[in-house]
Chain A
Amino acid sequence: MFQFVVDVALRACDLMLIAVGMSAVYSLMKFPNIALAQYAAMGAFLAIVLQRAGLPLVPSSIVAVLIVGVVAVLLNRVLFERMLAIGSSTAMIGSLAVSMVISAIFLVIIGPSPARFNLEITRPLRVLGARITEHQVLSLGITAAAISVFAILLFKTDLGRCMRATATNNLLADATGIDTRKTKTAVVAISACLAALGGIIITMKGEVNIQTGLDLLLPVFSAAILGGLGNPLGAVGGAIVIAMAETLITNVNFGPILGQDLVFLPAAYATAGSFVILVLTLLWRPRGLFISEVKRV
């Protein structure tokens, strides 16, 4: 049972940072930037490349996260701002196209085989009967810390106030002396950094390949929508719900129901889980699960 909690937490933390980033960007830019899932993979690849070049893991990761932030700001200035001037659906389709291009670039530069960090393999710990590795514990800790820092930024700093004001009412924010373009640029950078960190955390627990970004897209998008797009902290809850659904689908033994000993659904069905949740959310709670309780940002 505790293993289930651990599995859900681990999966949720795979999705959480990217989903929070996607939601934060949406709240200011008013379009879901699909490329965020690719920024996650980009962060992981860059960190691996830097580590192979001789940098220790932590500085590699920090540099990779910052580079992704800069790339995101450039893409935003060069592409997304212009596409947004045409319309938010244009920008969303554009971000899908950018994702495909990034995938192609990965294929050319890195090739189809998966890449890993050079990490010491440690024996799994036993906690209340559940198996968990040190790296998994670390990934939970980093995710929790990143979310906390982001929440403090959002609610306790001047930049956070400007972000929330711009998200609520762009024109009035301008009329209040907030440089809304600068604020949006900051959010684009912060969310890309969150996504890149998310990608690094996923890779710490396994590997990254050219498909990773696209595989993350559906569950991350579902988590962000479930949390109410534009409500970044809602995406935390969204990620947990999606992780629960996926874990239930893959970890539950359907054997007893079917009169056999062991029947597990293939892992590929997990995706179907997030897809079903996405469709149900769009039908019944299009503004997310938490709209009445959580302050919309």
Chain B
Amino acid sequence: MIEVQGVRAGYGDGPDILNGINLVADAGKIVTILGPNGCGKSTLLKCIAGFVRPRAGDVRMSGTAVTNLKAHEKVRSHGVGFVPQTDNVFSSMSVTENIMLGARFVARAEREQRFEALLTQYPALAAKRNRKASALSGGERQLLSLARALIAKPRILLLDEPSAGLSPRMMHEVFEAISEIRAREGICILMVEQNAFEALHISDTAYVLSLGDVAMQGRASDLLADPAMRSLYLGGDAPH
């Protein structure tokens, strides 16, 4: 479980991008962060993952303060899996190498087994296991990055716009994969999404950011029905 308390953050000497964010994401749930471009969604995810150090506030994982841990430390000690928004594969390495890099902390005996299980799950990757990641399509890269994170058995999965740039069919497949992960692994999934409508359908709760503040939050089903939410982010009026 992730708790974010009063996190303020920014880059270098620049202004605050996040002005005191509070957020909770429980184990076994999908929590989605929505909001317009540039409002700080990726920055929030990077704060949680350990790439941006908060200027104030706390990040806790399973009750422990992890605010100042580095990204790689969080991976090992708190089981964080992170799929960045862009550049989320090792492009010059093969599909197999990409996935296996995620398995460095998995016991040797279990590695192969989990690898094969993931390939069965994602046949698109199995067919290209010896190809370089740079030869994959956008959707395949997304799956590859997901597989790289999953082979480590994460307890927390951070996904930054997993459906960005995908065809509708591929987007559906990726969202399907994400809700399957929740059902199967019972882990805490926090994802940033632009495709609000589809994302809310698989989410439990959601937060809407606006210029570095939480503008709205609630159960995903409530937000889907909310008229203000509909007109602002879901591109349509509430059904009468």
Interface centre among A161, A171, A174, A176 (most CB of B within 10 A): A176
Q: How large is the interface on A (under 10, 10 to 19, 20 to 34, 35 or more residues)?
A: 20 to 34
List, in ascending order, chain B residues with CB within 8 A of A295's CB.
Answer: 92
Which of B56-64, B98-106, B181-189, B222-230 touches A? B98-106
Determine the residue in chain A with the shortest Cβ distance to B133: A168
A176–B92 touching, CB < 8 Å: no
Chain A residues whose CB sits within 8 angstroms of the CB of B97 once the complex forms:
161
Q: Shortest 6 CB-CB distances between A and B: which pairs?
A: A177-B75, A175-B82, A174-B71, A168-B90, A168-B92, A174-B72
A–B pairs, 27, beta carbons within 8 Å: A161-B104, A164-B90, A165-B90, A168-B90, A168-B91, A169-B89, A171-B87, A172-B84, A172-B88, A172-B89, A173-B90, A174-B70, A174-B72, A175-B71, A175-B82, A175-B84, A176-B75, A176-B104, A177-B75, A177-B102, A177-B105, A177-B152, A178-B72, A178-B101, A178-B104, A180-B72, A295-B92
Assembly CA distance A162 to B104 (angstroms)? 10
**Is A135's CB within 8 Å of the partner chain B?**
no
Q: Which of A108-164 contact B (CB under 8 A)?
A: 158, 161-162, 164
Which residues in window 46-78 of B have CB below 8 A to A? Answer: 49-51, 70-72, 75-76
The residues of B that contact A177 with a CB separation of less than 8 Å are: 72, 75-76, 102, 104-105, 152
Given known A-B contacts A158-B104, A177-B76, A172 and B90 have beta carbons under 8 A apart: yes
Q: A175-B51, A295-B92 are in contact. List 18 more A-B contacts (CB 8 A).
A: A158-B104, A161-B100, A161-B101, A161-B104, A164-B90, A164-B92, A168-B90, A169-B91, A172-B84, A173-B101, A175-B72, A175-B84, A176-B101, A176-B102, A176-B152, A177-B76, A177-B105, A178-B72
* B148 proximal to A (CB < 8 A): yes
Is A81 close to B, CB under 8 A? no
A179 part of interface (Cβ distance < 8 Å): yes
Say if the beta carbon of B117 comes within 8 Å of chain A: no
- Cα A180 to Cα B102 in complex, Å, equals 14
List B contacts of A175 (CB < 8 A).
49, 51, 71-72, 75, 82, 84
Q: Are A176's CB and B76's CB within 8 A?
A: no
**Contact of B92 (CB < 8 Å), options: A162, A171, A173, A296:** A296
Quick check: is B93 within 8 A (CB to CB) of the other chain?
A: yes
| Given A158-B104, A165-B101, A171-B51: A176 touches B91 (CB 8 Å cut-off) | no
A165, B75: Cα distance in complex, Å: 16
A-side interface residues toward B, CB under 8 Å? 158, 161-162, 164-165, 168-169, 171-180, 295-297
Chain B residues contacting A176 (CB-CB under 8 Å) are: 72, 75, 101-102, 104, 148, 152
- Considering the complex, which residues of chain B in the window 168-201 have a beta carbon less than 8 Å from any beta carbon of chain A? none
Within the assembled complex, what's the spacing in Å between the Cα atoms of A169 and B86? 11
Q: Which of B1-55 contact A (CB under 8 A)?
A: 49-51
Q: Nearest Cβ distance between residue B19 and chain A, in whole angstroms?
A: 25
Residue contact A179 to B72, C-beta cutoff 8 Å: yes
Task: Give Cα A179–Cα B104 distance, bound, in whole angstroms.
Answer: 12
**Chain A residues closer than 8 Å to B93, beta-carbon distance:** 164-165, 168
A162 shortest CB reach to chain B, Å: 8
Q: A162 contacts which chain B residues (CB < 8 A)?
A: 104
Nearest-neighbour CB distance to chain A for B233, whole angstroms, equals 28
Query: How far apart are the CA atoms of A211 and B79 in the complex, in Å?
Result: 52
Interface string of B151-170 (1 = CB under 8 A from A): 01000000000000000000
Residues on A with C-beta less than 8 A from B152 are 176-177
Q: For A180, what are the chain B residues with a Cβ–Cβ distance below 8 Å?
A: 72
- Provide the bound-state CA to CA distance between A173 and B87, in Å: 11
**Contact string, B201-229, partner A, CB cutoff 8 A, digits 1/0?**
00000000000000000000000000000
The CA-CA distance from A165 to B49 in the complex, in Å, is 18
Query: How far does the alpha carbon of A295 sit from the alpha carbon of B130 in the complex, in Å?
Result: 14
B168 vs chain A, min Cβ distance (A): 27
Question: Quick one: which of B87-131 are within 8 Å of A by CB?
Answer: 87-93, 97, 100-102, 104-105
- B105 / chain A contacts, CB cutoff of 8 Å: 177
How far apart sit A297 and B105, CA to CA, in the bound complex (Å)?
23
Smallest CB–CB gap between B103 and chain A, Å? Answer: 10
**A172: chain B residues within 8 A (beta carbon):** 84, 87-90
